[in-house]
């Protein structure tokens, strides 16, 4: 474990050390670039306020991500069994990913107000497609011998899907989850930035307007921590659901 | 006894198999050999009911004289690879056919577990396929096939991925298991040594379109044939196959 994370820890320590030294030696104003220690101090000082906003962001991201995973799984099953629907819907899903968030987020706020709904919808929109695509790709990776064997035993399409196709897509599904998880928090913050009463997005906007770069960066640290926590949760899920020595080794 | 009558397979407007008829007796091994692309595996897949929809098929399958639809519980198929699911234990893999046939999981597992020792797999019940050697994996796959209690077994080059020594051991082991639990076997193989060594009958196919061109009864009991008989037989088969190769 330590061997795997050591290079990342060393590199991070070097970057932060270089940043700290630069801030102290160059005399750059903390309004422009605060040193890492100043960011951490601001984070500790404002922990209660940032914490409240972080909880709001996490609630929206968790709800949006959960809905997104559920929709993606159900849609992938539907598209797997109905190829004509896949051919019809996939271009629309691809097009939906080309809409710039900067255009969509304010429109969502305009249509659905400052509540939770527009933010959850935006998270779903951003995270749904990578999971769906990973699942469909995973289904296609099912070894034909597995399908043939089950079909020769008299298994129907659903039994083949449940016993061979779905488990074969496990690794691809988890890869899609990891990609989407990194987008979930960022999408929520972007939606909050466009308009919200609470959340890290609106906190960052307020801090920026007050020329408090230390608070902006504190919120960034919290956002990164939330994303890493989400990724950690997926890794735990991976480990818990792994079967067989190889899967457990890779988890 | 399985009887195939006038099997014709078309794909992309091309005739792959034409009016193929064959009989697989209810016990003993019938080997199906032929050049690559002659349609051996397609015939086997048709019997197993897993030929892709892209094929247009005509033909009748009779089990003990009665027409059957495919796939059929009486015919059990083992693909070229062992096709053991890596996320299932060996016992779970072996019990899969019984579960799909409707047996409760607990009873299916109990049935297969009782057979692990005779199949040389004692102690492997809770292991995963990746933890087993190639020979043991094939034994586990064969256990999964045999335990389904079908009348006939369709084997698609089951030993082709094994090294020479393991392959010979597995051939002896297969004969021994079949003497414990007699049933008819249709074995698709490329290996003339394998066909002459363990089969009771050999069907020779030709390509373009695929058809049976010879049916040879192998004299003597498998495993007790003299090298002279085997060498003669291999020579005959080689001549037949080379005549088909342009």
pLDDT at B84: 94
| Domain presence at residue A14 | no
Cβ separation A150–B87 shorter than 8 A: no
| Domain presence at residue A132 | yes
Name which of A148, A154, A170 is nearest B79 (Cβ-Cβ).
A148
Chain A residues with beta carbon closer than 8 angstroms to that of B45: 148
pLDDT band of residue B204 (cuts 50, 70, 90) is very high
Chain B residues with beta carbon closer than 8 angstroms to that of A170: 87
Question: pLDDT for B76-99, tens place per residue?
Answer: 999 888 899 999 999 999 999 999
State the residue for tokens 């990913």. A97
Exposed/middle/buried for residue B195 (C-beta within 10 Å: 0-12, 13-18, 19+): buried
| Domain presence at residue A127 | yes
Chain B residues with beta carbon closer than 8 angstroms to that of A148: 45, 48, 50, 77, 79, 83
Cβ separation B96–A153 shorter than 8 A: yes
pLDDT band of residue A250 (cuts 50, 70, 90) is very low
The boundaries of the domain holding residue A82 are 49-250
* Cβ-contact A154, A123 below 8 angstroms: no
C-alpha distance from A64 to closest chain B C-alpha (Å):
31
Is A189 or B167 the better-scoring residue by pLDDT?
A189
Is A105 or A13 the better-scoring residue by pLDDT?
A13
Give the number of A-B residue pairs with CB atoms closer than 8 Å: 68
Count of alpha carbons within 13 Å of B245, Cβ hemisphere only?
9
Q: The domain spanning residue A161 has which CATH number? A: 1.10.3720.10
C-alpha distance from A143 to closest chain B C-alpha (Å):
8
| Domain presence at residue A202 | yes
Give the Cα separation of B94 and B113 in Å (integer). 9
169-188 in chain A: CB under 8 A from chain B: 170
3-state DSSP assignment of residue A6:
helix
Cβ separation B128–A152 shorter than 8 A: no
C-alpha distance from A245 to closest chain B C-alpha (Å):
7
* Residues of chain B in Cβ contact (below 8 Å) with chain A: 45, 48-50, 71, 73, 75-81, 83, 85-88, 96-97, 100-101, 128-131, 148, 154
| Domain presence at residue A38 | no
| Domain presence at residue A188 | yes
Compute the CA torsion angle A124, A129, A131, A133 (nearest 10 deg): 170
C-alpha distance from B50 to closest chain A C-alpha (Å):
6
3-state DSSP assignment of residue A239:
helix
ipTM, two decimals, is: 0.85
Among A177-186, A205-214, B118-127, B219-228, the least confident range: B219-228
Among A71-85, A166-180, B53-67, the least confident range: B53-67
| Domain presence at residue A26 | no
Cβ separation A167–B85 shorter than 8 A: yes
3-state DSSP assignment of residue B1:
coil
Cβ separation B45–A148 shorter than 8 A: yes
Compute the CA torsion angle A71, A77, A81, A87 (nearest 10 deg): 50
- In chain B, pLDDT over 70 holds for what percent of residues? 99
pLDDT at A247: 57
Chain A residues with beta carbon closer than 8 angstroms to that of B130: 244-246
Question: pLDDT for B8-53, tens place per residue?
Answer: 998 888 888 988 999 999 888 999 998 888 889 899 999 999 988 8
Q: For B131, which residue in chain A has the nearest alpha carbon?
A: A245
* Cβ-contact B33, B190 below 8 angstroms: yes
C-alpha distance from B12 to closest chain A C-alpha (Å):
21
Is B179 or A129 the better-scoring residue by pLDDT?
A129
Among A4-13, A239-248, B122-131, B136-145, the least confident range: A239-248
Cβ separation A247–B86 shorter than 8 A: yes
| A155 has a chain B CB within 8 A of its CB | yes
* Count of domains observed in chain A: 1
Cβ separation B77–A145 shorter than 8 A: no
Beta strands in B12-49 (DSSP E): 14-24, 28-33
Name which of B71, B75, B76 is nearest A151 (Cβ-Cβ).
B71
Question: Does the CA dihedral A178-A183-A184-A186 come out positive or negative?
Answer: positive
Give the Cα separation of B7 and B26 in Å (integer). 20
Give the Cα separation of A173 and A211 in Å (integer). 42
| Domain presence at residue A1 | no
Give the Cα separation of B96 and B84 in Å (integer). 10
pLDDT band of residue B169 (cuts 50, 70, 90) is confident
The distance from CA A147 to its chain's CA centroid, rounded to whole angstroms, is 33
């Amino acid at each position: 474990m330590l061997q795997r994370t050591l290079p990342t820890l060393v590199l991070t320590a070097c970057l932060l050390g270089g940043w700290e030294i630069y801030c102290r030696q160059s005399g750059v104003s903390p309004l422009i670039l605060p040193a890492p220690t100043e960011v951490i101090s601001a984070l500790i000082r404002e922990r209660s306020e940032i914490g409240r906003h972080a909880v709001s962001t996490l609630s929206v991201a968790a709800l949006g991500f959960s809905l997104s995973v559920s929709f993606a799984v159900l849609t992938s099953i539907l598209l797997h069994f109905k190829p004509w629907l896949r051919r019809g819907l996939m271009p629309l899903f691809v097009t939906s990913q080309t809409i710039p968030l900067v255009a969509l987020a304010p429109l969502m706020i305009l249509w659905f107000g400052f509540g939770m709904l527009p933010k959850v919808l935006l998270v779903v929109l951003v995270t749904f497609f990578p999971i769906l695509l990973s699942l469909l790709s995973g289904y296609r990776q099912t070894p034909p011998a597995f399908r043939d064997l089950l079909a020769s035993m008299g298994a129907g399409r659903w039994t083949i899907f449940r016993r061979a196709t779905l488990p074969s897509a496990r690794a691809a599904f988890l890869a899609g989850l990891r990609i989407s998880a990194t987008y979930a928090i960022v999408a929520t913050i972007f939606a909050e930035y466009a308009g919200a009463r609470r959340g890290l997005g609106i906190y960052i906007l307020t801090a920026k307007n007050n020329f408090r770069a230390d608070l902006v960066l504190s919120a960034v640290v919290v956002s990164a921590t939330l994303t890493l926590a989400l990724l950690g949760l997926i890794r735990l899920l991976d480990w818990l659901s792994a079967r067989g020595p190889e899967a457990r080794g890779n988890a | 006894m399985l009887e195939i009558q006038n099997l014709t397979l078309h794909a992309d407007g091309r005739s792959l198999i034409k009016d193929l008829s064959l009989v697989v007796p209810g016990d003993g091994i019938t080997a199906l050999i032929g050049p690559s692309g002659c349609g051996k595996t397609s015939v086997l897949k048709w019997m197993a009911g897993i030929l892709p929809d892209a094929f247009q098929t005509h033909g009748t399958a009779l089990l003990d004289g009665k027409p059957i639809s495919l796939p059929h519980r009486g015919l059990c198929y083992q693909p070229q690879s062992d096709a053991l699911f890596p996320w299932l234990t060996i016992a779970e893999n072996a019990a899969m056919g019984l579960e799909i046939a409707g047996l409760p999981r607990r009873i299916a597992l109990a049935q297969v577990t009782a057979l692990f020792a005779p199949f040389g797999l004692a102690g492997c019940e809770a292991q995963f396929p990746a933890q087993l050697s190639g020979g043991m994996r094939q034994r586990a796959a064969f256990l999964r096939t045999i335990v389904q209690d079908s009348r006939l077994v369709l084997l698609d080059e089951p030993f082709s991925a094994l090294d020479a020594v393991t392959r010979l051991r597995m051939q002896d082991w297969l004969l021994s298991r079949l003497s414990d639990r007699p049933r008819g076997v249709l074995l698709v193989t490329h290996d003339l040594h394998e066909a002459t060594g363990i089969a009771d009958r050999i069907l020779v196919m030709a390509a373009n379109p695929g058809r049976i061109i010879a049916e040879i009864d192998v004299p003597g009991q498998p495993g007790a044939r003299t090298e002279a008989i085997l060498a003669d037989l291999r020579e005959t088969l080689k001549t037949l196959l080379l005549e088909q190769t342009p």
